[in-house]
Amino acid sequence: MDQSPSIGEIIRHQRELSKVSMRQFADMAGISNPYLSQIERGLREPSERVLDSIAESLQTSVDALYEQAGMVVEDESETSSVAAAIEADSALTQRQRRALLDVYHAFVAVGPAPRRRKRRAS
């Protein structure tokens, strides 16, 4: 069974890859250190405002964070086909796929309307 990481685990992983301490990152995102700790440990779900700030601090999009956590956009007609094409392209390395998906999701995130997200079926 494929268990996707939680949004908090994704945030912690991205923060650690950026080599930023929890305290520094909390300051960057404009939230308290204890609140960030609770988010990363999965004890609290961040609000959309906080998640936007976290994504901006990570230089990614909220949609990219949700995608990494196994959550998909409900209105995904064209979005899923583009993401699926990127994922399926064997000419790309996994790192290249992730970079392309991050860029694509960043562009989609500034689209006209917010979209609701749901957990992807395993």
| Number of independent structural domains in the chain | 1
> Rounded CA gap, 79 and 76, in Å?
5
Q: Which CATH number fits the domain that encloses residue 35?
A: 1.10.260.40
The answer to whether position 28 is within a domain reads: yes
> Rounded CA gap, 71 and 52, in Å?
16
pLDDT, position 121 = 53
The answer to whether position 55 is within a domain reads: yes
Domain region containing 35: 7-119
Q: How confident is residue 1, by pLDDT bands cut at 50, 70 and 90?
A: very low
The answer to whether position 18 is within a domain reads: yes
Residue 47 dihedral angles phi and psi, to the nearest 5° = -70, 165
The answer to whether position 23 is within a domain reads: yes
Summarised one tens digit per residue, pLDDT across range 35-56 is 999 999 999 988 889 999 999 9
The answer to whether position 52 is within a domain reads: yes
The answer to whether position 2 is within a domain reads: no
The DSSP annotation for 8-30 comes to HHHHHHHHHHTT--HHHHHHHHT
Q: What is the pTM of this model?
A: 0.59
Summarised one tens digit per residue, pLDDT across range 42-100 is 999 888 899 999 999 998 888 888 888 887 655 545 556 888 888 888 898 888 888 88
Residue type, 75: D
9's CB contacts (< 8 A; 6+ apart) are 40, 42, 69
The answer to whether position 1 is within a domain reads: no
